[in-house]
Each structure stands twice: as structure tokens, then as C-alpha cells.
């Protein structure tokens, strides 16, 4: 879950220092609690014959799930350390992994030239990016989709801030997984709920489906339940004339 050139150094430090293994990062929930919940929302929209790009793949937990269901899956991330982890944690080589900066038009164009039109899965990336980087990322996603690809994205909603602040303001301080986010300077930036549809429209994409769904995190409350972050999801496609 990292994609921005603006924060590439921060993301590199985060993934270099994060504990190894699945579930050690705040958002690194098991696929059954993440991409598996999303699959019914996008599978009817994705052309199964196209590659799937997991944009901001991090250590590849969700990428491997996708690779068991689509013939070619490519996890991309701005962090070299994240890509190294994803490869190490995929000994069966279910997916491909490439260091790609989603803000960089040259890199995303080269990826599209290599793999052709693709579907894009993206979970919690835009809100972690600098606001000035978001238009470029959406423009480059449209480039990756081409004419036939579809986008599925999930982003925390505006009211997710209350959940995050409740963790930060705990009497004993934020839990380690949350503290690591702020220590590496990748705290989520504010993003109004309506900004994503507006960005998509600006870059030639239209919404084909949307809704709300909680993002289940790896942080556990004292009562034993997982902390859930409210999110908005949507499916987008290239706008036809």
C-alpha cells in the first residue's frame, strides 16, 4: 500500500523497518478479511482475460490472493523493500512484482506497453499520497486501464479520521502498528469523499458501481475485536463517448 513518488523515501523506510511476516502492518489483514470481501464487488466488471495490477501492493498479501484467481497478476509498489518482501513471501511465484512509481508517467506507460490493457486493484493508496500527486496517479491508472480495463479502489471515508484519532489518543499512546505509520511520515492526508469521483471524471473514467465497506485492520481492541476503518469503494471504467 504505497505508490507516491512524493513519499517514496518515507515508504522505503517504512517497509525496510516493518516486522517481517503477514499481519505485522496495520492494514495487512488476511485476504479473507480484505480482497476476498472485495472480489464479489469487482469480478463481474473485470475481464478475466486481462492482467490484474495490484497498485500499491506492499508485501503482496492481497496480490497472492488475486494471483490464485486471475491468470496474470502484477504487484507494483514505489518501495524496493516492499517489492523484495513481496517476492520473498511468494515462494511459489504466483504473481509478478515490479518497482513502479504510480506518479511517474514514463514508468506507467512502459508498464502498459509491456502488459497491455489491465484491470487495476487499489486499496487505500490515494489517501496516503500527497494531494498534488493524486491527479497524476489517477491519470496513470487511466493509462493502465486502456480501453478494456476496469478499476476497483477502496479508500477510507471522511469519518475514518475519528477511528484513527481514537487509536492515536489512547492513554498509553498509539499501538505500535499505528505509531510506525506516523513515525515514518506516512500519516493519511485528509481527502473529501467526493474528491475521488471528481478525479476519475476529470481523467476520463466513470463510476460503474460504488458503496461502503469497513476495512478490517490488524489492530485488536481490548475486547478482542478487530479495529475497522470505514471506507468507500467504487468500480470505474473508461468513459465511452
Q: What is the C-alpha separation between 92 and 172, in angstroms, rounded?
A: 41
* Domain extents in the chain: 5-238
Three-state secondary structure call for residue 169: coil
CATH topology of domain 5-238: Rossmann fold (3.40.50)
pLDDT band at residue 145 using 50, 70 and 90 as cut-offs: very high
Q: What is the C-alpha separation between 18 and 2, in angstroms, rounded?
A: 13
pLDDT over 60 at 6, yes or no: no
C-beta neighbour count of 173 within 10 angstroms: 11
Choose between 37 and 1: higher pLDDT.
Answer: 37
Whether 89 and 18 have beta carbons less than 8 Å apart is answered as no
DSSP letter for each residue of 90-108: -TT--SEEEE--TT-HHHH
What pLDDT is stored for residue 189 in this prediction?
66
Extract the C-alpha cell encoding 217: 485492520
The strand order across the sheet containing 73-77 reads: 96-99, 73-77, 52-55, 119-123, 151-156, 226-238, 205-220
What pLDDT is stored for residue 2 in this prediction?
52
Whether 50 and 117 have beta carbons less than 8 Å apart is answered as yes
**Distance (Å) of CA 90 to CA 58, 97, 137:** 13, 10, 27
pLDDT over 70 at 3, yes or no: no
pLDDT in tens, 15-50: 998 888 778 888 899 999 999 999 999 999 999 999
What pLDDT is stored for residue 94 in this prediction?
97
Three-state secondary structure call for residue 18: coil
Quote the percentage of the chain above a pLDDT of 70. Answer: 95
CA angle 107, 3, 77 (to 5 degrees): 70
pLDDT over 70 at 159, yes or no: yes
DSSP letter for each residue of 110-168: HHHHHH-S-EEEEES-GGGS-GGGHHHHHHHHHHHHTTT--EEEEEE-TTHHHHHHHHH
Choose between 223 and 7: higher pLDDT.
Answer: 223
Q: What is the C-alpha separation between 19 and 22, in angstroms, rounded?
A: 9
pLDDT in tens, 172-201: 777 878 888 878 887 666 788 889 999 999
Amino acid at each position: 500500500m504505497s505508490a507516491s513518488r512524493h513519499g517514496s523515501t518515507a515508504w522505503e523506510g517504512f517497509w525496510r523497518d516493518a516486522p517481517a511476516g503477514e499481519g505485522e502492518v496495520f492494514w495487512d489483514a488476511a485476504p479473507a478479511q480484505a480482497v476476498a470481501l472485495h472480489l464479489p464487488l469487482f469480478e463481474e466488471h473485470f475481464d478475466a482475460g486481462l492482467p490484474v495490477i495490484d497498485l500499491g501492493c506492499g508485501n503482496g498479501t492481497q496480490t497472492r490472493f488475486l494471483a490464485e484467481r486471475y491468470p496474470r497478476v502484477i504487484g507494483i509498489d514505489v518501495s524496493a523493500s516492499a517489492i523484495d518482501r513481496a517476492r520473498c513471501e511468494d515462494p511459489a511465484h504466483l504473481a509478478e512484482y515490479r518497482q513502479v512509481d504510480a506518479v511517474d508517467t514514463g514508468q506507467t506507460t512502459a508498464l502498459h506497453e509491456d502488459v497491455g490493457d489491465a484491470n487495476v486493484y487499489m486499496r487505500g493508496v490515494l489517501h496516503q499520497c500527497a494531494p498534488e500527486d493524486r491527479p497524476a496517479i489517477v491519470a496513470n491508472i487511466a493509462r493502465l486501464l486502456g480501453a478494456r480495463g476496469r478499476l476497483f479502489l477502496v479508500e477510507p471515508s471522511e469519518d475514518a479520521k475519528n477511528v484513527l484519532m481514537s487509536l492515536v489518543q489512547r492513554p498509553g499512546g498509539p499501538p505500535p502498528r499505528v505509531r510506525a505509520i506516523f513515525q515514518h511520515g506516512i500519516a493519511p492526508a485528509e481527502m473529501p469523499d467526493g474528491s475521488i469521483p471528481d478525479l476519475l471524471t476529470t481523467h476520463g473514467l466513470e463510476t460503474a458501481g460504488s458503496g461502503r465497506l469497513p476495512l478490517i485492520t490488524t489492530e485488536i481492541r481490548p475486547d478482542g475485536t478487530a479495529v475497522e476503518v470505514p471506507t468507500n469503494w467504487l468500480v470505474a471504467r473508461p468513459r465511452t463517448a
